[in-house]
Amino acid sequence: MLSKLIDAIEQVDPYKRFGKVTRVVGLMIESKGPETSVGNVCFLHIGKRKKRVVKAEVVGFRDEYVLLMPFTNVTDISPGTLVEDTGKPLHIKAGLELIGTVLDGIGNPLDGSEPMRGLFPVPTDNEPPNPLSRPRVQQPIEIGVRAIDSLLTIGKGQRIGIFAGSGVGKSTLLGMIARNSNADVNVIALIGERGREVLEFVEKDLGEQGLNRSIVIAATSDQPALMRIKGALTATAIAEYFRDQGLSVMLMMDSVTRVAMAQREIGLAIGEPPTTKGYTPSVFSLLPKLLERSGTNKLGAITAIYTVLVDGDDFNEPIADTVRGILDGHFILDRQLANKGQFPALNILESVSRVMPNIVSSDHLYAAHHFRDLLSTYREAEDLINIGAYKTGTSKKIDEAIAAKEKMIAFLKQEVDEHASIEESIQLLIKQFCKGE
C-alpha cells in the first residue's frame, strides 16, 4: 500500500503550466503555450478586477500555438489572458443521486444549484467495449409502444436510429418510451434543441413519471459547438457508469445530426477541409466512436435510441447514411402518416430491427411477417383501390389486405398516454394477424 502511494506521489506533476492568449478568431482561441495535449482542459483566467475562470479544451495546434475552444461563450477575453493547463481531459460526476435531475453539457445542474455529493468521477471520452467482450443481444426489452414491441422488437443492448424530418413526432415518441420502457434508468440527451423546448420536453413529453427514472442532459442550440458535443459525450459516459453497475440503461439522444453539425463547426474552425456536403473528415471519425460506446458489455447493457434529423426528408444524406450503417436498425417516421393523424408515424415497411429474428418466437415472427405482407399488398394496390379501378375478387391477396386495413391502422395507432405491455402487444398481433385466423 505504501509503495503504491509513493508511486502515485512520484507521478504528480509539481509544476503548473501557463500560456497567454495571442488572438481570437471566430470560435477559436490561440495561445502561446502552455505545454499541453489535445483533449486536455485548460482554465482561462479572465478579467483584471473581477476575475473569473472559464474552462476551455485543447482542440489542436497551429505551428507553436495552442488552439482552444471554450465551453461557454466568452466576450471579455483579451490579449495576454492567462491560460492554465490542468493536465487532464474533462471528467464529470455520476451516481444514483443524478436520477430525476436536468444537467448541462458538462454534468452540472442546469438550474444553477450546487453540485450533488456522493458522486463518482468518470471520464467523458472512453473507448468502446472490446468486440469480443460484448455479449450477444438475446432478449427483448419492453418499449411500451405497440408497433415497436410487436413489429420492430428491440433487444436489450441494441442500438436503433429514429430517422425523421422536423415536426414528425420524434420528441413525443422519446418521451413515451422514457415513461413506458422497463429499463432501470433512462439517460436522455437533448443536443442542439431550442431553449424553449427543453422545459416543454421535461414537463409535457417526459412528465413527472418519466423524470423520476431519468437523467436529462441538455445542451441548447445557442451554446458553443464544444458544449453540444460534450453533452453527447457526457450522456454516454453517465449511461456507461450505470451499465457498469449491472443496470439496464435506456440511452436516448436527440439528435445525432446536431452533434455532427457541432463537430463540423469545430473542424472548419481549426482548418479541416469540408468534404462530403460540407462535413469535415472528423465528423465521420466521431460518429462511430460515439455510437459504438453503447450496447452490451459483461456487466450490463445500454439500449440506445438515436434520432437523426434528415434535411428535407432526404433519408440518404451523408449523416443519415453513415448512422444507418453503424446502428443495429432504423425506424423511419413518415410525414404523410403524421399528416393523416397516425401516431406514432412509423413507416413499418421501411423500418427494420436487425436483431428481431434472433430474440422473438417463431409465431411472433410469422405474425409480424404476415402483417408486413398485408400492409405492403395494400400500399401497392392503394391507388387502384382509391380510384375504384380494383374489382373485388380479382386477387385473393388484395381482398385480404383490404379487409384487414382498418384493423392494421388501429393496431399501429397509439395514444401518447397509452401504455401497451410487450406481452399484450405480441398476443394481439398473433391473435389478429396469424394467417387463417
pLDDT string in tens for the chain (437-residue length) = 677 777 766 666 666 778 999 998 888 899 998 889 998 999 999 877 667 888 999 998 988 899 999 988 877 888 888 999 988 899 999 999 999 999 999 999 888 788 788 889 999 999 999 999 899 999 999 999 999 999 999 999 999 999 988 888 888 899 899 999 999 999 999 999 888 889 888 988 888 888 999 999 999 998 989 999 999 999 999 999 999 999 999 999 988 999 999 999 999 988 888 887 889 999 999 999 999 999 999 999 999 999 998 876 667 788 999 999 999 999 999 988 988 888 999 999 999 999 999 999 999 999 999 999 999 999 998 888 888 888 888 888 899 999 999 999 999 999 988 888 999 999 999 998 875 44
Classify residue 362 as exposed, middle or buried by CB count within 10 Å of its CB (0-12, 13-18, 19+): exposed
CATH architecture group of domain 363-433: Up-down Bundle (1.20)
C-alpha cell at 81: 489572458
Residue spans of the domains in the chain: they are: 17-89, 92-360, 363-433
According to the CATH classification, is domain 17-89 in 3.90.1150.10? no
> What secondary structure does DSSP assign to 103-118, as a single string?
E-TTS-BTT-PPPPSS
Pair type for strands 352-353 and 185-191: unpaired
| Upstream peptide bond of 288 is cis (omega within 30 degrees of 0) | no
- Residue 87 CB neighbour total at 10 angstroms: 17
Answer for the pair 106, 90: CB distance below 8 angstroms, yes or no: yes
List for the chain the helix, strand, coil content (%; round to 5): 40, 25, 35
Pairing of strands 17-25, 65-70: unpaired
The CATH architecture of the domain made up of 92-360 is 3-Layer(aba) Sandwich (3.40)
Q: How far is CA 399 from CA 134, 157, 411, 428, in A?
A: 47, 40, 19, 22
| Single pTM value for the model | 0.90
Please identify which residue in the block is written with the cell numbers 472548419. Answer: 268
Q: H helices of 152-255, where?
A: 170-180, 195-200, 207-211, 225-244
